[in-house]
Amino acid sequence: MEMNVGGLNLHNTDLIITAGLPSQLIKDGIPQVAFSGRSNVGKSSLINCLLGRKKLARTSATPGKTITVNYYRVDKKMTLVDLPGYGYASRSHASKKQWSALTQGYFENNSALTLVAQLVDAKVGITKDDEEMINWLNYYNVPYVVVVTKCDKLNKTELSASAERILSCDLFRSQTACILFSSEKKLGREALWELILKNCFK
């Protein structure tokens, strides 16, 4: 596992804050890359895969339990942001409100945000909640890339059909990039790092 990526020492990575309230969100000048997607889509697993760590970002068997924005600072030069998952049907009204306040607070006036990775499950495809999220990303005018997760669960034929279906969603801006990813197989790690570095340090 490559632990030096684009001059970043991945051994030097820490969870710096777990924000549960909008007032705890970080507004500093260090470039941020955020990971957005349904609960259980594989956000935390993907962050662990990128960072070459097994358990830095917590993955859960009970999806959508905690609604927090988790900031991972990488070698003091950039920050990977694990956004709270959405689409968890049995969530209470109060926790849905907390999700909205945090997510809105995150995207508003965040000039350090350089890229959002919008995760979509290869097997599930784009859900109604994903569509809502994509509308938010378009509204806030942030650059994004689509990352198709858990690609190891499909065979080649299924995977290309799935990726084609996902990319045909007409909400995506034209020329939206798409990366096929598997945290399990470490597929797509290099391609995603390349895009992240390009956006953070251009």
Q: In the complex, which residues of this chain contact ligand GTP (CB under 6 A)?
A: 37, 39-45, 59-60, 63-64, 85, 149-150, 152-153, 182-184
For the CB of residue 72, give the shortest distance to Mg ion in the complex, in Å.
12
CA–CA separation, 104 vs 68, rounded Å? 13
Which of 9, 66 has the CB closer to ligand GTP? Answer: 66
Q: Which does 75 bind (CB under 5 to 8 A by kind): ligand GTP, Mg ion, none?
A: none
User: Residue 44, interface with Mg ion (CB under 5 A)?
Assistant: yes
Q: Which does 45 bind (CB under 5 to 8 A by kind): ligand GTP, Mg ion, none?
A: ligand GTP
For 77, how many CA atoms within 13 A lie in the half-sphere containing its CB?
Answer: 13
Q: 């909400």: which residue's tokens?
A: 171
* Per-residue binder mask for Mg ion (CB under 5 A), 91-130, x = binder: ----------------------------------------
Residue 14 structure tokens:
């820490």
User: Cβ(83)–Cβ(34) under 8 Å?
Assistant: yes
For the CB of residue 7, give the shortest distance to ligand GTP in the complex, in Å.
27
CA–CA separation, 23 vs 34, rounded Å? 18
Which of 31, 85 has the CB closer to ligand GTP? Answer: 85
CA–CA separation, 154 vs 170, rounded Å? 24
Q: Look at strands 144-149 and 4-5 and give their pairing.
A: unpaired
For the CB of residue 41, give the shortest distance to ligand GTP in the complex, in Å.
4
Q: Residue 104: what are its φ and ψ, rounded to 5°?
A: -60, -45
CA–CA separation, 75 vs 92, rounded Å? 37
For the CB of residue 80, give the shortest distance to ligand GTP in the complex, in Å.
12
For the CB of residue 74, give the shortest distance to Mg ion in the complex, in Å.
18
Q: Which does 95 bind (CB under 5 to 8 A by kind): Mg ion, ligand GTP, none?
A: none
Give, as one character, the DSSP assignment of residue 126. Answer: -
In this chain, which residue has its C-beta nearest to Mg ion? 44
User: Cβ(112)–Cβ(28) under 8 Å?
Assistant: yes
Which of 57, 195 has the CB closer to ligand GTP? Answer: 57
